[in-house]
Structure 1
Amino acid sequence: MAAPILAYENLGLVQGSGWLFRGLDVHVGPRDRLALIGRNGAGKTTLLKLIAGKIDADEGRRTIQPGTRVILLEQEPDLRTFATLGDYVLGGDDAPLQYEAEAIADQLGIDLSREAASASGGERRRAAIVRALAQDPDVLLLDEPTNHLDIAAIDWLEEWLGRFRGAFIVISHDRTFLTRLTKQTLWLDRGTVRRAEIGFGGFEAWTEQVYAEEQRNAEKLDAKLKLEEHWLLRGVTGRRKRNQGRLTKLFEMRETRAAMMGPPGTANLTIGSDDARSKIVIDVKHVSKSFGDRPIITDLNLRVSRRDRIGIVGQNGAGKTTLLKLLTGELAPDSGTVKLAQNVERIVIDQQRSKMAPDKTVREVLADGGDWIEVQGVKKHIIGYLKEFLFEPGLVDAQVGTLSGGERSRLLLAREFARPSNLLVLDEPTNDLDLETLDLLQEVISDYDGTVLIVSHDRDFLDRTVTITLGLDGSGTVDVVAGGYEDWEAKRKAAAPKRGGGNRKVQATAPPPPPPPKVKLTYKDQRDYETLPKRIETLDAAILRDEKALADPALYSKDFARFEMLTKAVENARAEKEAAELRWLELAEMVEG
């Protein structure tokens, strides 16, 4: 192993009234490709700033080889003192060479003469990338580099980093980006850091091993994990296993949707049964929209049914927002018709998540200062609901302004998902979310009983959530594909003419391995496999019944013993349901081979 070019030994930092982390050892080799993983609030961004030398530690020693150039790409660069994006890129004592910056800007498609004050999030992000890359770093520290970028820009950045001869550490919620690029992982978890010589592709298997070892050690010591750690650990591991079953259901829904579509290559989703026709939420017929002489949408035909999950993808400027506004009735087409079902109740979660009042508490945002919140018509205690969105109970009275960006995003999701609706519109929902929250969001979308429209550049997220992808190429044509981002990309590659050398080599999808022989179930396994779904339904009904009884505000004072009994019953039923779900998923994997 090559000697580190940068290292921190016994790193410690005080934040607030205690240590954010202490005793961390971090080293960076000359060609390391490190993924930095951790929950929102764990201190990932702070750790990057410490490594970059932007802030000082309270403990520890930083060593760096002479002449090593460390560049930090911040998540939110400060452009307030610059007139143009070019002034920002070329400003300061450590400014890059102008010709190098202009060459990268040209490849990224960013106009450096643009006024900084009116630049969009995507333009500001591109300018920050231009400045960082043009500075010729030896160690590049990237904090959410794909935020606000479209897919074409992400592809370009992946290609550039693939050729990069230095080392980099990257924080990102983009699983595809991390999987393609990283070869080592730093996991910041509960104040400690672990390093594994595996890329992000092996991260989940590694964390499962760590959690399993912790559980064994806790049992050996005859001690339980702390309550907050226990529900988090159980939630993380259980969620991943449940999501395996949800992915299976998603693939089944895609097959069903593909069967409803017309001949290959057409954009008309037809419905095959009268029952399906009665569930049409959005009916689009021969819709076209232009701005000036430029066609944005041309002759689109589309039928969106209840429980469809529609992903909208394309480069910035291709018309994603226009299409979204057409589908939701915010924008009228130039020709054709868009008909929405009469009973549509929609909620829209867009990118403006920072606008929640910072002086309000979490309790006030969720429950108007009370203890109970109505979630899709069912009352839940605010503490239990917060846990569902990965909040520790102690944060219930914290002010919104003290939360991290990711925590504010999670709080907004919790508030909006509680509202009654049957059409959910998500505009770039993955920005500022950590990986565990993304898992949670995928789960909530999967369980949502209405229709979902998603605009996103997060390829893995789309592959895990949507049943239909609407792909825009900027020409006005909308590709309608049953499946996720990879299905749309495969269709584009198949339709594109073959080009000569000089383009990035795209890794082909390997043929699926032959299925392993199916395992024969024992009598008990077979019985569990057949009976558990019914048991899960029964538990669901019991939980719903008892939660309705608990929703009576007078129950606590009128009959405390019954309140306590019902609370315990709901807790036990949820635990039994979770165990039953995990057991059935394990058996389903055995059956499916």
Structure 2
Amino acid sequence: MSAPVLAYENLGLVQGTGWLFRHLDIYIQPKDRLALIGRNGAGKTTLLKLLAGTIDCDEGRRTIVPGARVILLEQEPSMKGHATLRDYALAGADAPAPHEVEAIATQMGIDLSRDATTASGGERRRAAIARALAMEPDVLLLDEPTNHLDIAAIDWLEGWLARFNGAFVAISHDRAFLTRLTRQTLWLDRGAVRRAEIGFGGFEAWTDKVYEDEQRNAERLDARLKLEEHWLQRGVTGRRKRNQGRLTKLHEMRAERASMMGPQGTAAISISSDDARSKVVIEAKNVSKRFGTGDAGREVIRDFSLRVTRRDRIGIVGANGAGKSTLLKLLTGELAPDEGSVRLAKTLEATIIDQQRSLMAPEKTVREVLADGGEWIEVQGAKKHIQGYLKEFLFDPNMTDAKIGPLSGGERSRLLLAREFARPSNLLVLDEPTNDLDLETLDLLQEVIADYDGTVLIVSHDRDFLDRTVTVTLGLDGSGRVDVVAGGYEEWQRQRAQRAEAARKPAAARASTGASGTAQKPRTKLSYKDQRDLELLPREIETIEAGIARDEAALADPALYVKNPARFAELTAAIDAARARKDEAEMRWLELAEMAEALGG
């Protein structure tokens, strides 16, 4: 175990009238890939600022290797006082080299000459990332780095961090981002911090084990856990088990939706209108939308048709500027198409939750936001006491008279969700709903969406969230084409890869023609070895996955590193090797499956 590049001993911080946390020992080694996990309000952002040295602690000692650079990428970097994004990126005595900033900005597709005051959230986020990465950090502290980024930018950032030689600590609601990149976890929970030498992929198994151990210890001491202190932990573990059932149901709904759909980009017209499950609420026929005129114009949506039925969960994905917001406005009737038609059901009653969270006035109280100052709230036609309803959304029931201002961004978002889900509606429109939410709230949001009896439209860049919630994905690539896929983000990506491969096959066929112009004899079936690999690889992949899960469960023991460091190192190396074998096996199987399909089965 190498010496840490950054550490805190006996860290404590007072917030308000009490300790936010106390007696924390934290260390970051030179190449750590740490996920920092905790509920909204637990102090994750504050802890990053303490590690960065931008705020002082009330107790404890911070140590850092001389000359090491610790860079914090804030969740909402301030652009105040900067005319352009370039001015912001190059500000300060320790500013990065201009050519380094420009190189990263170019790769991320951001024009740094943009006015800082009118730049979008995505543009500001890219400028902040360009500044942070160009400063050549030894430790990079990332607070929700994927917020406001489109999928292409997230992919680029993941690639950069995978090659990064330093250490990083990341707070993120993006499960896919954390699972792909992290190898260690810091869990900030009830004022204490735990560290496990496992990535986010093993986090749930680890926390479940911690809760089970706590429960057993409480039973041994014959002390019942206080309900108001521990309802969250029991709710989270129970919710995970329920979500497994919901995922099964989601796959069934996707299969049913796929059977209703016709060719790519259309929907079957022969749906029975008196079937409650398939009642059409939005129907788009041959819709096109263009902005600008002449050569300067651009067709954002081209010849798009879709029937949206009751209880559909529609996800809209694509790069920034590809037309997601335009498509959403067309489907909700806010924008008229240039060609084609969009028909909305007369009974449609929409609730729209936007990115700006504009309803959360800082001076209001939780009671005023939820229940207009009263004690009771009507939730989808049924009355509930405000304290009981707060509890359902993971709040302390006694915070009814708390002001909105001091709440964290995630807590405000969660309160807004509680308010809007209570209102009667049959169409729910969610624009980037996962920004600022912690993982427990994301679990809750997935649960509420699954139980919602109406139709849901979701614009999101959160790949894991889409895979867990939507029945149909509308994918935009900026050309005007809209892919209509029964499934989530991964299914859309799989079908895109298949189309790209199919487009390459004619070129490959031409290349196989000899110089004489005589084509080589084409293959009609897989070789014996290829056929055998195609049949056996799925079982091999399952075996590898089972081995990874088994080893990660063993690593979830927080005491393993101290008790048996050799075993810890052995398991870590085995997991890394198994992941590499799994990636190789999956790629081989995908190539063989595409080859078999091209050969006619």
* Cα distance in 1 between the residues matched to 2:389 and 2:215: 25
Deviations 1:398-428 (CA, angstroms, capped at 9, x unpaired): 0111211111111110110000000000000
Residue 384 of structure 1: which of 388, 393, 410 is its match? 388
Match in the other structure for 1:541: none
Query: How big is the shift at 1:305?
Result: 0.3
Letter in 1 for 2:131: R
Cα offset, 1:434, TM superposition: 0.3
Distance (Å, rounded) in 2 between the aligned partners of 1:147 and 1:232: 26
Which residue in 1 is equivalent to 2:166? Answer: 166
Shift, 1:368, TM fit: 1.4
Deviation at 1:448, TM superposition (A): 0.1
8 A contact 2:485–2:492 mirrored in 1:
yes
Check whether the contact 2:265–2:305 (CA below 8 A) recurs between aligned residues.
Answer: no
Query: What TM-score does the superposition give when structure 1 sets the normalisation length?
Result: 0.83
2:415 maps to a residue whose letter is L
Residue of structure 2 equivalent to 1:374 = 378
* CA deviation map 1:262-294 (0-9, x unaligned): 14x343344543434861000111100011221
Q: How does 1:266-305 map to 2 (within 5 A)?
A: 266-276=265-275, 279-292=279-292, 293-305=297-309
Are residues 148 and 266 of structure 1, via their aligned partners in 2, closer, same or farther at CA, if it must alter by over 3 Å?
closer
CA displacement at 1:230 relative to structure 2: 2.5
Equivalent position amino acid for 1:44 in 2: K
The aligned residue for residue 22 of structure 2 is 22
Closer/same/farther in 2, CA of residues 173 and 258 from structure 1, 3 Å limit? same
**Cα separation, 2, equivalents of 1:230 and 1:101:** 47
- One-letter code of the match for 2:272? S
Q: Deviations over 1:225-277 (max 9, x none)?
A: 222232111111110000000000000000000111114x3433445434348
**CA-to-partner distance for each residue in 1:417-464, whole Å, 9 max, x for gaps?**
000000000000000100000000000000000000000000000000
Task: Show CA shifts across 1:168-211 (max 9, x none).
Answer: 00000000000000000000000000000000000000000001
> RMSD of the alignment, in Å?
1.5
Q: Distance in 2 between matches of 1:108 and 1:302?
A: 33
The one-letter amino acid of 1:57's match is: C
Q: What are the residue-to-residue correspondences of 1:177-188 with 2, within 5 Å?
A: 177-188=177-188
1:516-560 superposed Cα distances (whole Å, 9 cap, x missing partner): 9xxxxxxxxxxxxxxxxxxxxxxxxxxxxxxxxxxxxxxxxxxxx
Q: Is the 8 A contact 1:269 1:301 kept in 2?
A: no
Distance apart, 1:31 and its partner CA: 0.4
Q: Measure, in 2, the Cα distance between the counterparts of 1:35 and 1:19.
A: 23
Gaps of at least 5 residues in structure 1 are: 500-509, 517-593
1:445 aligns with 2:449: yes
Distance 2:248 2:131 in 1: 43
Q: How does 1:117-136 map to 2 (within 5 A)?
A: 117-136=117-136
TM-score when normalising by structure 2: 0.82
Matched with 1:203 is 203
After superposition, where does 1:129-528 map in structure 2 within 5 Å?
Answer: 129-263=129-263, 265-276=264-275, 279-292=279-292, 293-353=297-357, 355-497=359-501, 511=538
Equivalent residue number for residue 65 of structure 2: 65
Aligned pair in 2 of structure 1 residues 382, 25: CA closer, same or farther (>3 Å)? same
Distance in 1 of aligned mates of 2:153 and 2:144? 14
- Report the Cα distance in structure 2 between the residues aligned to 1:200 and 1:487, rounded to whole angstroms: 23
SS at match of 2:400: helix
Question: What secondary structure does 2:399 align onto?
Answer: helix
How many angstroms apart in 2 are the aligned matches of 1:492 and 1:385? 42
Corresponding residue for residue 4 of structure 2: 4
Residues of 2 paired with 1:368 and 1:56: CA distance?
Answer: 39
Residues 340-374 of structure 1, C-alpha deviations (whole Å, 9 max, x = no match) = 00000000001111542211111111111111100
Say which SS state the counterpart of residue 398 (structure 2) adopts: helix
Tell me how far apart the structure 2 counterparts of residues 423 and 222 of structure 1 sit (CA, whole Å).
Answer: 49
> Deviations 1:472-529 (Å, cap 9, x if unpaired)?
0000000000000000011111111489xxxxxxxxxx8477989xxxxxxxxxxxxx
Cα deviation for residue 13 of structure 1 reads: 0.5
* SS, match of residue 288 in structure 1: strand
Contact residue 470 and residue 481 of structure 1 kept, 8 A: yes
Q: Is the contact made by 2:467 and 2:490 (CA closer than 8 Å) also made in structure 1?
A: yes
| 2:265–2:482 CA contact under 8 A, matched in 1 | no
- For residues 185 and 268 of structure 1, the distance between their equivalents in structure 2, rounded to whole angstroms, comes to 44
Alpha-carbon shift at residue 296 of structure 1 (Å):
0.6
> Residues 35 and 2 of structure 1: is their aligned pair in 2 closer, same or farther, counting only changes over 3 Å?
same
Separation (CA, whole Å) in 1 of partners of 2:234 and 2:31: 36
Is the 1:282–1:340 contact (alpha carbons within 8 Å) kept by the matching residues of 2?
yes
CA offset at residue 2 of structure 1? 1.5
Distance 2:388 2:265 in 1: 47
> Would the aligned equivalents of 1:267 and 1:478 in 2 still touch at CA under 8 Å?
no
Amino acid in the other structure paired with 1:227:
L
CA distance in 2, matches of 1:37, 1:369: 34
CA distance in 1, matches of 2:412, 2:369: 11
- Post-superposition CA distance 1:15-54 (Å, at most 9, x none): 1100000000000000000000000000000000001111
Q: 1:147 to 1:182 in 2, by over 3 A?
A: same
User: Partners of 1:152 and 1:515 in 2: how far apart?
Assistant: 30
Contact 1:30–1:167 (8 Å) recurs in 2: yes
Gaps of at least 5 residues in structure 2 are 505-536, 544-601
Contact between 1:354 and 1:408, CA under 8 Å: does it hold in 2?
no
Q: In the alignment, what sits opposite 1:528?
A: none
1:78 matched to which residue of 2? 78
Matched residue of 2:274: which SS? helix
C-alpha separation in 1, matches of 2:484 and 2:539: 25
Whether the 8 Å CA contact 1:319–1:474 is kept in 2: the answer is yes
C-alpha deviation, 1:82, in angstroms: 0.3
CA distance in 1, matches of 2:398, 2:156: 43
SS of alignment partner, residue 412 of structure 1 = helix
Report if the CA contact (8 A) 1:320-1:455 is conserved. Answer: yes
Structure 1 residue 219: Cα displacement: 1.1
Distance 1:512 1:409, change over 3 A: farther
Determine helix, strand or coil for the equivalent of 1:239: helix
One-letter identity of the residue aligned with 1:208:
D
- The alpha-carbon distance between structure 1 residues 512 and 248, as it changes in their structure 2 partners (threshold 3 A), is farther
**Equivalent residue number for residue 542 of structure 1:** none
Does the aligned pair in 2 maintain the 1:276–1:305 contact within 8 Å?
A: no
Instruction: Specify the alignment match of 2:582 in structure 1.
Output: none
Amino acid at match of 1:6: L
State how far apart, in whole Å, the 1-side matches of 2:145 and 2:539 are.
32
Say how many residue pairs are matched: 505
Letter of the 1:380 partner, please give it.
K
Percent identical? 77
Q: Deviations over 1:290-331 (max 9, x none)?
A: 112211111111000000000000000000000000000000
What one-letter code is carried by the residue in structure 1 that aligns with 2:156? W
3-state DSSP of counterpart to 1:102 = helix
C-alpha distance 511-324 of structure 1, shift in aligned 2 (>3 A): farther
Q: Secondary structure of 1:275's partner? A: coil
